[in-house]
Amino acid sequence: MKKLYVAMFLGIAALFGLSLWKNWYSYGYKTWKWRAGKSAIDVTLIVLAALYLPALLVGWSVMWMTRNIARRGVQITLAVLLGVLFSTIGGVALEILCILGIFSVDLLTGQQGVYGWFKQQIPETFLPQLETRNDVARG
C-alpha cells in the first residue's frame, strides 16, 4: 500500500513540475510565487477532476485541441471525434488526460479564463439586452 501512495505522490509532483514549466513560459512576466500558486491551483483542479469528474478532463482537452480551428463545422466534427477517443482512453489511461489537462486547464484559470476576466474590463458585447438602443429610446 505504501508503494501506491509513493507512486501517487510522485505522479502529482510530476504534474506540478510540468505545470510549473508550462506556466514559466506562458507567464514569464509574473513573479515566481504567482506562477507556483497558479501551478498548485491547476494541479489541484486536474487531480480533483481526475478523481471525481474525468469527463471534465475530456472536455477541457477537446476544447484546448480544437480552439484554433476557424471553420465551425470542422471544429465541431473534430471535437466529437476527439471526445469519443479521449473517453475511451480515459477508462484505461487517465494519466494521458491529466497530462493534457495541464495544458488545457489554462483555458479555465489563465488569460482566457478567470485570471483574464479579473484583469480586463467588461466587454461592450456583455449582456447586449441591457444596452439602450437609440431607436427605442427616442420612442
Poorest-pLDDT segment among 16-20, 22-26, 113-117: 113-117
pTM (two decimals): 0.72
Q: What is the domain partition of the chain in residue ranges?
A: 2-119
Check residue 15 and give its pLDDT: 92
Are 74 and 67 in contact, with CB atoms under 8 Å apart? no
Residue 114 CB contacts under 8 Å (≥ 6 apart), including other chains: 108
Check residue 122 and give its pLDDT: 64
Mean per-residue pLDDT for 56-82? Answer: 89
* DSSP assignments along 72-104, one per residue: HHHHHHHHHHHHHHHHHHHTT-HHHHHHHHHHH
pLDDT digits (tens, 9 = 90+) for 45-67: 999 988 898 888 888 889 888 98
Q: Is 59 left (phi over 0), alpha (psi -120 to 50) or beta?
A: alpha
